Chain A
Amino acid sequence: MIDLSELLNKMLTAPGLSGYESPIREILQEVWAPLTDELSVSKIGSLHGLKRGQGDAPRRKVMISAHMDAIGMMVTHIQDSFIRITEIGGIDHRILPGQPVIVHGREELPGVVVQPPGHLLPESVGDGPVEMKYLLVDVGLGPDELVKKVRVGDIVSYAQEPLELTGEALAGHTLDNRVSVAATTLCLEALQNRFHDWDVWAVASAQEEETLGGAFTSPFDIQPDIAIVIDVCFAKGPGASDWSSLPFGEGVGLGYGPNIHPALYDAFEKKAKELEIPYHRDLMPKMSGTDAMAVQIVAEGIPCAVIGIPLRYMHTPVETVSLKDIRRAGRLMAEFIADLKPDALAHINWEE
């Protein structure tokens, strides 16, 4: 049995910013090796794991896409003992002052994001939020040492250690979207002792946070018949209370909207009800904000389902998730896949 906390801690301590996924990919290669028949890495850096079905060839293919890349920052300038930064992925500059970070220079340099005092900033800033271009990173080295170790273009990652909260809640950075990679891993584990007709392609995709580069390319390689995209979704919490947020720790989200094939939605809803796995319809009236935006329109088009794991404080270093929902998502995907009959594709249609 995989220890979920242990797996998450291992994954969360690895960087793997968009375009620089190799640290997390190498960990996943190790974790997925015993759970899959073949592993490969795509040209853009996504990890593909194939677990063959037991049905007769030619077998249908289901792809699970969980992006493994993380948001973070990049060095834009070095000034004396200080570093200036820009973002990779979407970061609200208002959460950065005082954050622990690691600058990945010639070596790993621990540091802190600094909000300079008002008299060193343009008067227009006043006591308002300080834009990212005015923030600094300090790694505690003098100017001579700093220029030897850091260059423009080096990446900067969050360094907040994961924290175990009460009620099987976990807080930390990059839970978006390592929790979905963990759920995919639990799904692969659950399928070890199960008969399944279809081939299963698990994909830890690259560059979701910037370009959807992995999600556009892996389905082209794999040519799946259907795809399950798993990502985090919004959980209710401070500042997030309207229809777009789901209750925290009380079940998975099933995405509903134009990125999702309605027949796949129905099939997942039916399966969740049958297994008594709590779920919520996660309304996505326009784009889903997930790999499905790309996967759906690769080649001739691919039917997608979107599974969501509710997460508080998305894109901050203290994102918070319930381990219960990760387990639920893993189980739901495994049961759905094990139940895919050789002719299941016939039911993924537009006949109502």
Chain B
Amino acid sequence: MTENQKIQASNIPTIGNRQIKLLEKLCNASAVSGDEQEVRNIVLEEIKPVADEIKVDALGNVLATKFGHGENRVRVMLAAHMDEIGFMIVKKHDDNLFQFERIGGIDERQLPGKAVLVGRDHLPGVIGAKPIHMTTADERKNKIPVDALRIDLGPEIGEKVKPGDRATFATRFKRFGPSIQAKALDDRFGVAILIELLKHAPENIDLLAAFTVQEEVGLRGARVAAYRFDPDMAIAVDSTPAYDLPHWDDEDQNVQYNTRLDAGPAIYVMDRATIADRRLVTLLSDAAQEEEIPYQFRQPGGGGTDAGVIHKTRAGIPSISVSVPSRYAHSAIGLARVDDWANTLRLLYAALVRVTPDLLAGERRG
């Protein structure tokens, strides 16, 4: 595609009511790392009519292929993780209260006073806290230790919940103003984007969509997915924190924001797990500029995505990550903009249609 060959507007996938409904369903589903069944079922239902090949592998990854047309098609892997942070019930105590462990990086300060849904039946429960009346000022200077917390499902829970059951925050998806408030936007945004791209797959490439498992406990699904797909290049599609909040004194400037809402998709140059292939950085940023899609570079630094394992699979796979910026990941309620999601989808589509064998023909260079 040459510079003056902009994409036909009619081909570009967009975010409408149907896509928002699907994201709602995805976010409200429970899929704690290692127990991704509910999201896997939604994904399979959505992509069965459009994918050419679908495989559920040994770990539970959904690997879907949509072949393009013509010669010398580049094999492009997209990865989005289906799993979310959450809890596992580990012990039932005599008082009918349940002890639990955190799965994935959850700040223990986010736990007291929250509603949760336990097990496949989504039984409601609460993580209570000691009444403030019974605490001392000194006590309130310390965190409530996670060992002191319990999940309470009522006095007649009986055998309906048992150790091993997973739980998530009970947050239900909400749309308000330009924003979405929901749990598990990390990474149901990515899952929703991959579904749309499969439905609007560019014909110049073979699209290899990996809906991965166990990202939050060590990028485990992506490793075997990349091995099986053996792609020419890969893009991890995730959600990354926007720390675009004011400094506590309201005066100092916040220069460590990672990303900002309303600034469009976040292109990764480097995180703790991956140094992105510069050719792919250029591909994405050029596509954004040519299509006039707002974008931002994620501030280089910590964090990691599925790209962290994909780029080191087999003999090495040129890789990059693109994320929808969102606030308050790994807590009960995340908050993000519909427009940032839509622009991430547009950018990925615009980049994919620009992929040619020439892109990766030479040696990697910066």
Binding site for B on A (CB under 8 A): 77, 79-80, 82, 90-100, 109-112, 114-117, 119-122, 127-130, 134, 136, 138-142, 145, 160-161, 163-169, 171, 234, 236-240, 244, 248-249, 289, 312-318, 320, 322
Contacts and interface: CB of A to CB of B under 8 A. Distances in A.
B333 A92 contact: no
A234 B131 contact: yes
Given A167-B156, A314-B133, A315-B132, 18 more contacts: A92-B132, A92-B135, A94-B129, A97-B110, A98-B331, A116-B248, A117-B245, A128-B141, A129-B142, A141-B178, A145-B177, A165-B126, A165-B157, A167-B154, A234-B133, A237-B152, A240-B134, A322-B155
Given A110-B181, A166-B157, A237 B97 contact: yes
B224 interface: no
Contacts, number: 205
15 contacts: A97-B109, A97-B110, A98-B331, A110-B174, A110-B176, A114-B245, A115-B107, A161-B115, A163-B115, A165-B154, A239-B129, A313-B130, A314-B133, A315-B131, A316-B131
A166 B130 contact: no
Nearest to B170: A163
A283 to B, nearest CB: 14
Interface residues on B, range: 35 or more
Contacts of A165: 124-126, 152-154, 157
B254 A120 contact: yes
B333 to A, nearest CB: 4
B256 to A, nearest CB: 5
Contacts of A120: 243, 245-248, 254
A140 B143 contact: no
B266 interface: no
Given A82-B246, A140-B181, A98 B155 contact: no
Contact of A171 (B124, B129, B337): B124
A202 B135 CA distance: 33
Contacts of B245: 82, 114, 116-117, 120, 136
Interface string B173-196: 010111111000000000000000
B160 interface: yes
Contacts of B152: 165, 171, 237-238, 312, 320
A322 B155 CA distance: 9
B167 interface: no
B246 A112 contact: no
- Determine the main DSSP class of B at the interface with A: loop
B163 interface: no
Contact of A94 (B95, B144, B153, B179): B144
A93 B112 CA distance: 10
Contact of A166 (B107, B133, B140, B153): B153
A128 B115 CA distance: 22
A111 B328 CA distance: 12
Contacts of A90: 132-133
Given A94-B143, A138-B335, A80 B246 contact: yes
Contacts of A240: 130-131, 134
Contacts of B141: 128-129
Contacts of B126: 163, 165, 171, 313, 318, 320
A289 B142 contact: no
B28 to A, nearest CB: 13
B248 A114 contact: no
B44 interface: no
B128 A129 contact: no
B113 A318 contact: yes
A248 to B, nearest CB: 7
Contact of B132 (A91, A119, A169, A171): A91
A122 B262 CA distance: 27
A100 B171 contact: yes
B312 interface: no
B98 to A, nearest CB: 11
